[in-house]
């Protein structure tokens, strides 16, 4: 399936998005993923970092805030899966942002799906 597939992970349905899908580049893309998640009865959307638009990582663009707000409003968790070290190396603000969001329960930046499984197991 091109948008991704829903898989159960420690009792939580996760929409694991395909790396080659449309970019997560704003509110419209966020709403499309939210619709896919609701259609598959998923509570978490895992998006590969390759699908996240560069603007998302430039906090001043407002893209990350707009995307995250949609997920929070719809009570879905968003997980960016993959290596964001290059992005955080270029921005102290982004490094702080990633650290803060990883402390919460709605938006996470995790290195891989195994880390997501660990996080969901711990939350379960």
Helix (H, G, I), strand (E, B) or coil at 47: strand
| pLDDT tens string 11-29 | 999 999 999 999 999 999 9
**16, two tokens:** 């694991």
CATH class of 4-113: alpha beta
pTM recorded for the entire structure = 0.94
> Which positions ≥6 away from 5 have C-beta within 8 Å?
15, 16, 40
Q: How far apart are the first and last CA of the chain?
A: 28
Q: Are 73 and 42 in contact (CB under 8 A)?
A: no
| pLDDT tens string 100-123 | 999 998 999 999 999 999 999 988
pLDDT category, 2, cuts 50, 70, 90?
very low
Which pLDDT score is estimated for 89?
Answer: 95
């Amino acid at each position: 399936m091109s948008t991704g597939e829903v898989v159960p992970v420690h009792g939580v349905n996760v929409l694991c998005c395909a790396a080659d899908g449309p970019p997560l580049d704003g509110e419209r893309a966020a709403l499309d993923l939210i619709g896919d998640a609701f259609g598959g009865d998923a509570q978490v959307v895992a998006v590969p970092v390759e699908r996240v638009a560069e603007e998302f990582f430039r906090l001043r663009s407002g893209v990350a805030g707009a995307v995250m707000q949609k997920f929070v409003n719809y009570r879905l968790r968003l997980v960016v899966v993959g290596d964001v070290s290059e992005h955080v190396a270029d921005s102290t603000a982004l490094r702080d942002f990633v650290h803060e969001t990883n402390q919460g329960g709605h938006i996470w930046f995790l290195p891989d799906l195994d880390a997501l499984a660990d996080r969901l197991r711990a939350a379960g």
